Amino acid sequence: MSAETIQSRREWLLSDRPASRLQARLGRAYVAWRRFSANRLALVGMLIIIGLLVVAAFADVLAPYSPTIGDLKNARLLPPGTAHWFGTDDLGRDIYSRIVYGARWTLYVVILVAIIAAPIGLLVGTIAGYAGGWTDTILMRITDIFLAFPKLVLALAFVAALGPGIENAVLAIAITSWPPYARIARAETLTVRNSDYIKAVQLMGASPFRIVLRHIMPLCISSLIIRVTLDMAGIILTAAGLGFLGLGAQPPLPEWGAMIASGRRFILDQWWVAAAPGAAILIVSLGFNLLGDGLRDALDPRSGDQ
């Protein structure tokens, strides 16, 4: 592809007068990508998350051993070596294989919590911001009740009521994660509720439900995506905390928090049992934080003025 062709396409994407909606959307996406790619740490975070996705997708290929079956007689608490890269645990299971398969459970928790919590927060926040009055007061006071408790403590209470297990842990984390999203969506809604184009849609006879769904919610998506991405690290840590306390994933599932809990008894002599899953949590949490910071800089419309 010649340099002239690349330059013409760049000018087409950056045109001040787009000829179609597709051109306008592609132009906004291109500008956002330029802002994102200018942040080297954000690219590092993106590579970490891509690596997590690849590891989770190809765990059957990358893991040389079973994550649940070990050799208790011959491979108990072996240090890292050529046969077992990250060593083995107290049941003779390969820690590297368990970490690789544990990536699937990490993504399982993160994706389900985002799917459950983000729409709830978006719906509550936009309804409260657009309706106002008593509706806003009631919904926001409910939100304040959830925000008054530490997330981990509230999640512990819900899991204790629902029972231990990965599904109940996901539900508990989702229940405690939606209030910040509702606050963001409400703030965004209040800024556009009285704008001219919303008034024009009202004059055209659109119902409040259609206005909220078709014209207000899309404006909140970018802010919500940023907050969800930044919260991924907290979700992973909360899930690991529940697993550490025995209220999350149950044995023999290779969940990273549960792996740290099982390795805390050997932390002084067989440090690798707890250090390996701890390092995995650290790296993935760092990746989500770096990615969230990059998305915030790329999708924030005020960043172009700085």
For the beta carbon of residue 227, count every other beta carbon within 10 angstroms.
19
Could you give the percent of the chain with pLDDT greater than 70? 97
- Confidence band (pLDDT; 50, 70, 90) for 300? low
Mean predicted confidence (pLDDT) in 261-269 = 87
pLDDT of residue 174 exceeding 90, the answer is yes
pLDDT of residue 15 exceeding 90, the answer is no
Q: Measuring CA to CA, how many Å separate 37 from each of 40, 85, 145, 286?
A: 7, 34, 39, 18
pLDDT of residue 305 exceeding 60, the answer is no
pLDDT of residue 223 exceeding 70, the answer is yes
Residues contacting 6, CB < 8 A, separation 6+: none
Mean pLDDT of all residues in the chain?
Answer: 88
Mean predicted confidence (pLDDT) in 220-227 = 88
- For residue 189, the model assigns a pLDDT of 92
Structure tokens at 148: 């008054």
Mean predicted confidence (pLDDT) in 19-48 = 87
Spatial CA neighbour of 56 closest among 111, 12, 103? 103
Q: Cα separation of 68 and 193, whole Å?
A: 54
Mean predicted confidence (pLDDT) in 23-34 = 83
pLDDT of residue 1 exceeding 70, the answer is no
Spatial CA neighbour of 298 closest among 226, 198, 208, 194? 226
pLDDT of residue 277 exceeding 90, the answer is yes
Mean predicted confidence (pLDDT) in 117-127 = 94
- For residue 262, the model assigns a pLDDT of 87
The pTM assigned to this predicted structure is: 0.85
Picking from 49-58, 76-85, 246-255, which range would have the lowest pLDDT averaged per residue? Answer: 246-255
Picking from 2-6, 163-167, 242-246, 288-292, which range would have the lowest pLDDT averaged per residue? Answer: 2-6
pLDDT of residue 303 exceeding 50, the answer is no
pLDDT of residue 151 exceeding 90, the answer is no
Mean predicted confidence (pLDDT) in 20-26 = 82
Continuous H helices in the chain: 3-13, 21-37, 40-57, 59-62, 95-131, 133-147, 151-162, 166-192, 196-203, 208-210, 217-244, 256-263, 272-299
Picking from 61-65, 209-213, 245-249, 283-287, which range would have the lowest pLDDT averaged per residue? Answer: 245-249
- For residue 301, the model assigns a pLDDT of 52
- The more confident residue out of 55 and 246 is 55
- For residue 171, the model assigns a pLDDT of 93
- The more confident residue out of 73 and 14 is 73
Residues 175-218 pLDDT 10s: 999 999 999 999 999 988 888 888 888 888 888 888 898 889 98
Phi-psi region of 97 (alpha: psi -120 to 50; beta: other; left: phi over 0): alpha
- For residue 269, the model assigns a pLDDT of 87
- For residue 304, the model assigns a pLDDT of 44
By the 10 Å C-beta count (0-12 exposed, 13-18 middle, 19+ buried), 90 is classed as: middle
For the beta carbon of residue 102, count every other beta carbon within 10 angstroms.
27
